[in-house]
Structure 1
Amino acid sequence: MARAVSTRTRFAWTALAWTIAFLMFFPILWTVLTSFKTEAEAIASPPSVVAFDWTLENYGVVQERSDYMRYLWNSIIIAGGSTLLGIAVAIPAAWAMAFVPGRFTRDILMWMLSTKMLPAVGVLYPIYLICIELGVLDNRAALVVILMLINLPIIVWMLYTYFKEIPGEILEAARMDGANLRSEILYVLTPMAIPGIASTILLNFILAWNEAFWTLNLTSVDAAPLTAFIASYSSPEGLFFAKLSAASTMAIAPILILGWFSQKQLVRGLTFGAVK
Structure 2
Amino acid sequence: MSASTTVPATPPTGTTTPRPAAEANAAARPPRRRVTGVAVTAWVLGLLFCFPALWMVLTSFHAESDAATNPPSFAASLTLDGYRTFFGGGGGPTPWPPLVNSLTASFFSTVLVLLLALPAAYALSIRRVRKWTDVLFFFLSTKMLPVVAGLLPIYLFARNTGLLDNIWLLVLLYTSMNLPIAVWMMQSFLSDVPVSIIEAAQVDGARLPTVLGRVVAPVAAPGIAATALICFIFSWNELLFARVLTGVVASTAPVHLTTFVTSQGLFLAQLCAASVVVSLPVLAAGYAAQDKLVQGLSLGAVK
TM-score, length-normalised on structure 1?
0.94
Which residue does the alignment assign to 2:169?
142
- The equivalent of 2:197 in structure 1 is 170
Give the Å deviation of 1:255.
1.5
Stretches of structure 1 lacking an aligned partner (at least 5 in a row) = none
- What corresponds to 2:8 in structure 1? none
Runs of 4+ in 1 over 4 A off after TM superposition: none
Q: Please state if 1:48 is matched with 2:61.
A: no
Q: How does 1:76-91 map to 2 (within 5 A)?
A: 76-91=103-118
Amino acid at match of 1:53: S
Distance 1:202 1:176, change over 3 A: same
Q: Which residue of 2 aligns with 1:20?
A: 45
Q: State the identity as a percent.
A: 40
Bigger drift between 54-63 and 138-147 goes to 54-63
Tell me the CA shift for residue 118 of structure 1: 1.5
Answer yes or no: is 1:197 the counterpart of 2:224: yes
1:235 Cα offset (Å): 0.9
- The separation in 2 between residues aligned to 1:188 and 1:88, in whole angstroms, is 15
1:209 maps to 2:236: yes
Match of 1:269 in 2: 296
Alpha-carbon distance between aligned partners in 2 of 1:43 and 1:146, rounded to the nearest angstrom: 38
Q: In the alignment, residue 7 of structure 1 is paired with which amino acid?
A: R
Supply the distance in 2 between the matched residues of 1:99 and 1:268 (Cα, whole angstroms): 20
CA distance in 1 between partners of 2:29 and 2:298 (Å)? 24
Once the 2 structures are TM-superposed, how far is the Cα of residue 236 of structure 1 from its aligned partner? Answer: 2.1
Contact 2:223/2:292, CA 8 A, preserved across alignment:
no
**Letter of the structure 1 residue corresponding to residue 224 of structure 2:** I
Q: Which amino acid aligns with 2:79?
A: T
Match of 1:116, SS state, is coil
Asked which structure has the greater RCO (Cα within 8 Å, sep 6+), the reply is 1
Which deviations, in whole Å up to 9, do the C-alpha atoms of 1:45-81 show, x marking residues without a partner?
A: 22122x1111111211222212122121111111111
Partner-residue secondary structure (3-state), 1:25: helix
Which of 205, 208, 229 is the equivalent residue of 1:181?
Answer: 208
Q: Does residue 226 of the first structure (1) align with residue 263 of the second (2)?
A: no
Residue number in structure 2 paired with 1:62:
86
1:34 aligns to 2:98 (yes or no): no
How many residue pairs get aligned? The number is: 275
| Structure 2: stretches of 5+ with no match in the other structure | 1-23
Show the 5 A alignment for 1:69-148. Answer: 69-148=96-175
- What's the CA shift for 1:230? 0.5
Question: CA-to-partner distance for each residue in 1:190-241, whole Å, 9 max, x for gaps?
Answer: 1111111111111111111111111111111111111011111111232111
SS in 1 for 2:181: helix
Counterpart-to-counterpart distance in 2, 1:98 and 1:59: 48
**C-alpha RMSD of the superposition:** 1.7
Q: What secondary structure, in the 3-state scheme, does the structure 1 residue paired with 2:61 have?
A: coil
Amino acid corresponding to residue 215 of structure 1 in structure 2: A
SS of alignment partner, residue 232 of structure 1: helix
Q: Deviations over 1:114-150 (max 9, x none)?
A: 2222111000000111111121111111101100100
